[in-house]
Amino acid sequence: MAQDGIFKTKELAWICRSITMAAAPPPPSCCLVALPPHAKDGLVVFGKNSARPRDEVQEVVYFPAADHEPESKVECTYISVDQVPKTHAIVISRPAWLWGAEMGANEHGVCIANEAVNAREPAAETEALLGMDLVRLGLERGSTAKEALDVIVALLEEHGQGGNYYEDAGSCHSFQSAYLIVDHEEAWVLETVGKYWAAEKVTEGVRCICNQLSLTTKIDAEHPELRSYAQRQGWWTGEDEFNFSEVFSPADDHLHCCAGKDSLEKQEEGITVQTMIDILRDKASGVCIDSESFLTTASMASVLPQSRGSPCIHYFTGTPDPSRSIFKPFIFVDDVKLVPKAQSPCFGDDDPARREPRFQEKPDRRHELYKAHEWARAVIASGQEQGRRLRRTMLELEKQGLEAMEEILASPAPPDPAEVADLFYDCVDTEIKFFK
Confidence of residue 18 (pLDDT cuts 50, 70, 90): very low
Phi first, then psi: give them for residue 398, nearest 5 degrees: -65, -40
Domain-located, residue 384: no
Domain-located, residue 433: no
pLDDT for res 20: 32
8 A C-beta contact, residue 275 and residue 316: no
d(CA 129, CA 226): 20
d(CA 234, CA 310): 50
* The total number of structural domains that make up the chain: 1
Looking only at the bridges linking them, the beta strands covering 187-193 and 73-75 are unpaired
Using DSSP, state whether 114 is helix, strand or coil: strand
Confidence of residue 16 (pLDDT cuts 50, 70, 90): very low
8 A C-beta contact, residue 300 and residue 103: yes
Contacts of 375 (CB under 8 A, 6+ apart): 435
Quick check: is 31 catalytic?
yes
Sign for the pseudo-dihedral over CA of 154, 124, 355, 135 = positive
Domain-located, residue 101: yes
8 A C-beta contact, residue 130 and residue 176: no
More confident residue, 153 or 269: 153
pTM of the model: 0.94
d(CA 436, CA 431): 9
d(CA 394, CA 418): 26
pLDDT for res 253: 66
Share of the chain above pLDDT 90, in %: 84
Q: Which domain holds residue 157?
A: 26-371
Task: Please report, for the chain, how many H helices and E strands are present, in that order.
Answer: 11, 18
| Mean local confidence (pLDDT), 23-30 | 83
Domain-located, residue 138: yes
pLDDT for res 267: 76
HEC profile for 304-345?
EECCCCCCCEEEECCCCCHHHCCCEEECCCCCCCCCHHHCCC
Residue 59 burial (10 A CB sphere; 0-12, 13-18, 19+) = buried
Domain-located, residue 403: no
8 A C-beta contact, residue 369 and residue 341: yes
Measured in residues, the chain has a length of 436
8 A C-beta contact, residue 18 and residue 247: no
Please state which of the ranges 4-13, 225-234, 235-244, 418-427 shows the lowest mean pLDDT.
4-13
d(CA 67, CA 181): 24
Domain-located, residue 303: yes
d(CA 114, CA 427): 26
The domain spanning residue 202 has which CATH number?
Answer: 3.60.60.10
Residue 75 burial (10 A CB sphere; 0-12, 13-18, 19+) = middle
Domain-located, residue 314: yes
1 has a pLDDT exceeding 60: no
C-beta neighbour count of 144 within 10 angstroms: 17
| Mean local confidence (pLDDT), 75-98 | 98
Q: Which of 218, 168, 219, 229 is nearest to 194 (CA)?
A: 229
| Mean local confidence (pLDDT), 347-356 | 94
- Per the residue annotation, which of 31, 76, 111, 172 is the catalytic one? 31
Task: Give how far Cα 31 sits from Cα of 120, 255, 260, 332, 424, Å.
Answer: 22, 16, 8, 22, 22
Q: What is the pLDDT of residues 253-279, one digit of tens each?
A: 655 657 777 778 777 678 999 999 999
Q: What is the pLDDT of residues 164-174, one digit of tens each?
A: 999 988 877 89
Domain-located, residue 377: no
Any alpha helices (H) in 46-167, and if so which ranges? 131-141, 145-159
Using DSSP, state whether 82 is helix, strand or coil: strand
